[in-house]
Amino acid sequence: MKYLMGMKLPILSEIESAAKLVYATMPPTPQYSWPLVNLRVGAEVWIKHENHSPVGAFKLRGAVVYLSWLVKRIPGIRGVVAATRGNYGQGVALAARALGLHTVIVVPHGNSVEKNRAILSQGAELIEFGIDFQAALEHARQLAARRGFHMVESMHERLVHGSATYAREFFQGAPPMDRVYVPIGLGSSICGMVAARNALGLSTEIIGVVSELSPSYALSFEQGVLVEHASTSEIADGLACRRPVEAALDVIRANVNRIVRVSDEEIRAAMRALFEDTHNVAEGAGAAAMAAVLKDKDQLVGKRVGAILSGANIDADLFAKVLMETATDNAIVA
């Protein structure tokens, strides 16, 4: 293990061991460079399609690795509890069901209807609580203690092991990239990207992406202290974070070049661009990296860059509405 400012990042052999666990549940996801995306950006862009996982998002990887570790560490465990805005809950529920564990998933009120249905379809017990993810998280911790279940936190070293498996696939499956754009929710994805890059000895820049309406990680990165901030993005629920995870923030500060903030309007435009150019569905958080690429395109000429399409789980009526909102696209992505 490599110690880095309080978090243990996995070395290459540990990432490869995690990959074996992941591949027992899902195959590697593809990475493509789409000609229309390249024309739109004016650079060579490679997209990592984590939207192609069995739950439509990268979160399954970490859940599989975490729970495989957990059942060995705590023999006889009966159940698990997790808080989520949707994708993590689906991953935990699928992985837990395969291990015969009862799963309780806590979501905030007003959560995506279709994500809730997907969680229930995995056999989980679903509870709605609170006005945002942080409130749901605090309730989930209390519920786990009351029921004697294990609380599956949304940021943990084993989740980073899982996320690092997609990053390793990306670095080994695409040509050498100058930089990679990675969305930040609570931080397991970007920490996994850091771990894989460092383990492979690469010099690729890593650029974090947050919603400008959920800027806690960007503010904390810029100010050098942990900063809490309300999350009010209407389109990117997967980026919702009121309070950063300090261990993740330490890794980000030490390894990430910068953090880009993108607006809901820019995210919506990126969702449309991805559908038009690749016919892939991206939820708001899933399109955030592409939104940042489009925002940075003037500085990307002649470069090869990567973008993580981290998830596709968006309600059909909302996606249809986003696709119809084309009036401002020329100003944003042309």
Q: What is the pLDDT of residues 300-313, one digit of tens each?
A: 999 999 999 999 99
Q: Which amino acid is at 47?
A: I
CA dist 8 and 11 (Å) reads 9
Q: SS3 for 126?
A: strand
69 has pLDDT over 90: yes
Query: For the segment 113-149, what is each residue's pLDDT rounded down to a tens digit?
Result: 999 999 999 999 999 999 988 899 999 999 999 999 9
Q: Which domains does the chain have, with CATH numbers?
A: 2-57+157-333 (3.40.50.1100), 59-151 (3.40.50.1100)
Parallel, antiparallel or unpaired: strands 44-49 and 304-309? parallel
Across 26-52, average pLDDT: 98
Q: pLDDT confidence of 331, banded at 50, 70, 90?
A: very low
Among 92-101, 221-230, 236-245, the range scoring the smallest mean pLDDT is 236-245
Q: Which amino acid is at 5?
A: M
Q: pLDDT confidence of 6, banded at 50, 70, 90?
A: low
Q: Sheet containing 150-151: give its strands across.
A: 125-128, 102-107, 79-83, 150-151
CA dist 117 and 105 (Å) reads 12
pTM higher than 0.75: yes
Q: SS3 for 220?
A: helix
Q: What is the pLDDT of residue 181?
A: 98
Q: What is the pLDDT of residue 238?
A: 87
Backbone phi, psi, residue 150, to 5°:
-90, 130
112 has pLDDT over 60: yes
Across 59-74, average pLDDT: 96
327 has pLDDT over 50: no
59 has pLDDT over 60: yes
CA dist 274 and 312 (Å) reads 11
279 HSE (CA, 13 A, CB side): 0
111 has pLDDT over 60: yes
Q: Annotate 227-250 with b (16+ C-beta within 10 A) or e (fewer).
A: bebebebebbbbbbbebbbebbbb
CA dist 178 and 199 (Å) reads 17
333 has pLDDT over 50: no
Backbone phi, psi, residue 208, to 5°:
-80, 155
Parallel, antiparallel or unpaired: strands 31-32 and 258-262? unpaired
Q: What is the pLDDT of residue 298?
A: 97
- Tokens 């549940």, located at residue: 25
Q: What is the pLDDT of residue 334?
A: 44
281 has pLDDT over 70: yes
Q: How far is CA 255 from the centre of its chain?
A: 18
328 has pLDDT over 80: no
Q: What is the pLDDT of residue 132?
A: 85
Please name the residue ranges forming H helices in the chain: 12-23, 35-41, 59-73, 87-98, 113-121, 133-147, 157-173, 188-200, 216-223, 246-255, 264-278, 284-295, 316-324, 329-333
179 has pLDDT over 80: yes
332 has pLDDT over 60: no
Q: What is the pLDDT of residue 65?
A: 98
CA dist 15 and 29 (Å) reads 16
Q: SS3 for 107?
A: strand
329 has pLDDT over 90: no
CA dist 29 and 12 (Å) reads 19
- Share of residues in the chain with pLDDT > 70 (%): 96
Across 265-287, average pLDDT: 98
